[in-house]
Structures are given as structure tokens and as C-alpha cells.
Amino acid sequence: MTVKQFQAESKRLLDLMINSIYTHKEIFLRELISNASDAIDKIYYKSLTDESLEFSPESYSIKLVPDKSSRTLKIVDTGIGMTESELEESLGIIAKSGSHAFKSENELKDGYDIIGQFGVGFYSAFMVADKVTVVSKALGSEQAYRWESEGAEGYTIEPCEKESVGTEITLSIKENTEDENYDEYLDKYRLRQIVKKYSDFIRYPIVMEMEKSKLKEGSEDEYENYVEEETVNSMVPIWKKNKSELSDKDYENFYSEKHYGFDKPLMHIHTSVEGAVSYNAILYIPESVPFDFYTPEYEKGLELYSSGVMIMSRCADLLPDYFSFVKGLVDSEDLSLNISREMLQHDRQLKLIAKNIKNKIRNELKSLLKNDREKYESFYKSFGRQLKFGVYSDFGANKKDLEELLLFPSSKDKSLVSLKEYLDRKPEDQKYIYYATGESLERIEKLPQTEMVLDKGYEILYFTDEVDEFAIKMMRSYGDVEFKSVSSSDLGIEGEDEIKDDDTEHKDMYEKMKEILGDRVSSVKSSSRLKSHPVCFSSEGDISVEMEKVLNAMPS
């Protein structure tokens, strides 16, 4: 038996691999399970064309066998196996992907479920193991082979015994170091957790023998332990199921299983898209504001899956900031992944998906507003502010996406009104959409400036959120009707008198008042706008008194 050296490039790559490609060591399990799943897929594809091969999904599985006493973790599959030369090529040459070759030889189009393509995933095993042993027997071959390597030094291949077709990988798990705990990869519960996280939707059962305990027969308090093989992955992802098979309860369960929130989802969106880019997505709008939503720690994003394997746990690019409260996931076969499968190579597909998703969320919210007002208002109470910030940010670029979703309380019994509703019921002669700003509805109602507008029978939107007026300034108009503050100098109302600058009769009094008020006001003038109130504040320019307050409070 000769020790073969890895090819020079491979040596360097292996080093790189072990030290820098992956951000999390636990990824090794995802990679080895993906390979096992690919190997089973390959038998399946062969069985499609080879009649002597029968494929019954039940007899295919991926088994994990951790053993603390020998410090080993075995990953055993019943897949297609590898011949001696395949062991040599696929595992001896880094960046040689047997799976990639399999796809081209069999003319499988991209988008087929086989996961492997770069030929590096296998080596991630060396992040947690100081020795890796692969025993494999290929389909249609009599002889099995053992491949073994302790890392960059090289590997050996020799014939060995193995009864059934498939591959058994044994990792000799590293000893713990000061900064790194490797014991966890021998712990069944931890392994189960890692499988759940990355490989829950691998289509074949991933099994592990779990210790369980039950009441002894005939006894009421004595327990006995027993071992039972447990399938740890869910296999069929809920998002690939037919909507008609799923109940609201199923979606709710998935929401809590995924820890999207402690509440219940207010609504879910389940969508499957085929086209320029195909994907499935399940999105949720939470019922209540996440506890950390307004902290800097809150990160928006959706989980991103590629063919059922989780690639990113929080892909921020999939959501605009104003929909940052949305939770959920996207699964697509059309993503081009980078080598660690932790990132995307091109963001073209991602951008397309993100755009579709944005539109989908907006449309669903629109129809919620139309069809279930109560639910929408409850949503709006939690997240309306986010939408208004969305209108304000990016110089109003999102106006078209968001304007239909806005609601404001108004002078009509203080209930929430959409801009469309406002226009629909506005009197014909009314030129503007009026608004008044203040700390609370009660305060706004007492504003002297509202009197004249209300007297005309016009409705006024009440802005109590700091962002409201800023957002509206960004929008300028809705439809072709401009917004107008009730405290602006020109209200566009017939019969409204100009502020009289030439009120000479009381000139002395105004001058005296200005003298007393000093810098706190820029001028004192008479106005005919007031009815029952003696005086009011107003601002001269575009910035209202309320906006000035906000601006002055901002750190400069």
C-alpha cells in the first residue's frame, strides 16, 4: 500500500478549506449529508433507465452513528457508492466533483436536485476530524475499497470488505482545544439539532438511534431504557406541499417550529413561482411587534434554501427595510452558489426574487386592507410606522409601492382612513388633502388652524407620528392632489383672507407683542382665519411647527 500525495493544488486548497472557506464548523455535516443524498439520487436516476434496478425509497437512508468511546462519527449511506478510481478522483483531487460530472454525463439540466457541484464539500470533514476513513462499494462492483486520510499529508486506498452497496464515512473527531469544543459532534442531540438546521428537507430519511425511556410494563413509576431508530429530518418541506393540503394550524406550527416569533402569525403568504427564476416561499407577518424590533440588534431577512438545503439563515437582500418585519423563507433551485455554498455568486436571481417577493407582500397587504379591514388595522398598528418610514426613505422612491397601504386617523370620527378613501369622499371643490400635526388626536382637535377647514366641511388627516409629515412631504401628492398643512399660509379656500401685512390700525400693538416675544417668533400678524380662537402659531415656509420641533430635537 502506497501513500499517495494530494496534488499540489489540492494541498493548498485543503489548507484553505479547513481554515477559511466555512464560517461554521458544523457545516461539515450538511456537506456529508448532501453528498449521501446525492449518492442516493444517483441510484434513483440510474433506476429510471436501468430496468434491473429497482428503487424503493424506503430502503434508502442516511444513518448517523456517533460513538463517544471511540470518538468517531459515522455517516452511512445506501447510495451509489464509489469505485476505486472514483475514490481516487473524487476524493483525491480537490475541486473535482463527481456529482457535477454525473449531471453532465446524464444530461441532467441544472435545477435537478443533485446538490454537489464544486468538489470541495467533502473536505470540510477535516474541520472537525483529524482522520477520515471512507469505505465504499460501488453499484455493480464486487470489491469494496477503503480510502483514508489524515489531512494534507495524503491518502491511502486499499481493498476491503463491505457487504452492501453504499458508502460509510468515519470521522475521527478531534480532541477539544481551548477555544473549540469538538465533543458536541459526538452528541446525538446536538447532531439532531444540526440536521434540523441545515438538512431538514433532504428527501431521504436521516436516521439515528436514540435512547428513549418508557414505563416498565405493569409498573407505574419504574422506567426502562430502550433504543429506537429515529428519523430526524422532516423530509418533505412544507413549502413544497400543496396549499390545499395545509391548514392554518400547519402554518402556525411551522412558524413556531422555526422560532420566527413567540406570537402567532397574523397572516401567511405561501407562493410558488415558475419562470425566469423559480422558487417557493412561505412568508409570515407577525401578530405583534418582535420584542427587539426597534433595537439595533434586530436583523431583517429571510432564510434562503437552495434545493431544500439551507444556505443562509438570514438573507437581508430579500426584503426591503420597510418590510423588515416579514419572516419566512425562500427555496430556489436557480441560485448560483459560491464555493462554500454560504453565499451567492450572482445576485441577479436574488434581485429578481426579492422584487417578486416585495410585490407579493404589497399585493397581499392591499387585499387584506380590502377584504379584512380589522385585521389590516391590527397589522397597521404594529407596523404602519415602518411603511411610513419606507415612504420617507430613499427620497420617496417607494411611494408607488406603499401609498395605497397608508392609513391615517382623520377628523371624521378619528377612525383610520386610506388616501384613496379620503379622495373618494372629498367634496368636489376641495383642492388639497389637508392634514394637521400634533402630539395627540386631542391636541390636534384643539388646533385653531383646523377651524376654517372643518367649517368648509373638509376632512383633515391627523398626524401624530413624527414621521408622518416627513413622509407626506416626500410624497407631495396622492393621485394628482397635493397635501396641504392646515397651518400653511395659503389653504386654497375660497374667501380665505390674505394675512394682512398692512393692518396699520393695530400696528403698534403687534410691534409691542413682537418686542415682548423676542426671538421666539419671527413676526406677529393679524389673520382672518381664526374663528373662536384668539391666536395661533403658524410657520412661514414649508416646514411646519411640528416638523421644526422634530428637526430641532435631532442630534446635529
Chain positions contacting ligand ADP, by CB under 6 A: 31, 35-36, 39, 77, 79-82, 90-91, 97-100, 116-122, 167
Q: Which is nearer to ligand ADP, 122 or 435 (CB)?
A: 122
Q: How far is the CB of 124 from Mg ion (least distance, A)?
A: 9
Q: How many residues bind Mg ion (CB under 5 A)?
A: 3
Residue nearest ligand ADP (C-beta atom): 98
Among Mg ion, ligand ADP, none, what does residue 199 contact (CB within 5–8 Å per kind)?
Answer: none
Q: How far is the CB of 302 from ligand ADP (least distance, A)?
A: 25
- Binding-site members for ATP are 31, 35, 77, 82, 96-98, 117-122, 167, 341
Q: Which is nearer to Mg ion, 39 or 165 (CB)?
A: 39
Q: Which is nearer to ligand ADP, 85 or 181 (CB)?
A: 85
Among ligand ADP, Mg ion, none, what does residue 401 contact (CB within 5–8 Å per kind)?
Answer: none
Q: Which is nearer to Mg ion, 35 or 430 (CB)?
A: 35
Q: Which is nearer to Mg ion, 121 or 384 (CB)?
A: 121
Calculate the CA dihedral of residues 79, 84, 87, 92 and round it to 10 degrees. 180
Among Mg ion, ligand ADP, none, what does residue 97 contact (CB within 5–8 Å per kind)?
Answer: ligand ADP
Helix or strand holding residue 64 (H, E) = strand 62-67
SS (H, E, C) 144-178: EEEEEECCCCCEEEEEECCCCCEEEEEEEECCCCC
Q: How far is the CB of 347 from ligand ADP (least distance, A)?
A: 21
As to burial, measured by CB atoms within 10 angstroms (0-12 exposed, 13-18 middle, 19+ buried), residue 280 is buried
Q: How far is the CB of 138 from Mg ion (least distance, A)?
A: 17
Q: Which of 79, 116, 384, 390 binds Mg ion (CB under 5 A)?
A: 116
String of contacts with Mg ion for each residue 72-111, x by CB under 5 A: ----------------------------------------
CA pair distance 204, 210, nearest whole angstrom: 18
Q: Which is nearer to Mg ion, 78 or 487 (CB)?
A: 78
Q: Which is nearer to Mg ion, 133 or 430 (CB)?
A: 133
Q: Which of 66, 79, 121, 328 binds Mg ion (CB under 5 A)?
A: 121
Task: Please give the order of strands across the beta sheet that includes 72-77.
Answer: 155-160, 144-149, 129-137, 166-173, 72-77, 62-67, 206-215, 223-231
Please report where in the chains the cell 414649508 appears, as a residue. 542
The CA angle 464-383-403, to the nearest 5 degrees, is: 75
Q: How far is the CB of 369 from ligand ADP (least distance, A)?
A: 46
Residue nearest Mg ion (C-beta atom): 121
Q: Which is nearer to ligand ADP, 90 or 437 (CB)?
A: 90
317 and 348 in contact (C-beta within 8 Å)?
A: no
Task: Please give the order of strands across the beta sheet that includes 327-332.
Answer: 265-273, 279-286, 327-332, 302-306, 309-315
String of contacts with Mg ion for each residue 20-49, x by CB under 5 A: ---------------x--------------
SS (H, E, C) 330-369: EEECCCCECCCCCCECCCHHHHHHHHHHHHHHHHHHHHHH
Q: How far is the CB of 169 from ligand ADP (least distance, A)?
A: 7
As to burial, measured by CB atoms within 10 angstroms (0-12 exposed, 13-18 middle, 19+ buried), residue 254 is buried
The CA angle 21-311-42, to the nearest 5 degrees, is: 95
CA pair distance 314, 301, nearest whole angstrom: 5
Q: How far is the CB of 330 from ligand ADP (least distance, A)?
A: 22
Burial 359-376 (b: 16+ CB within 10 A, else e): eebbebbeebbeeeeeeb
Please report where in the chains the cell 468517531 appears, as a residue. 72
Sign of torsion over alpha carbons 254, 259, 264, 267: negative
Q: How far is the CB of 373 from Mg ion (least distance, A)?
A: 51
Among ligand ADP, Mg ion, none, what does residue 448 contact (CB within 5–8 Å per kind)?
Answer: none
List residues near Mg ion by CB under 5 A.
35, 116, 121
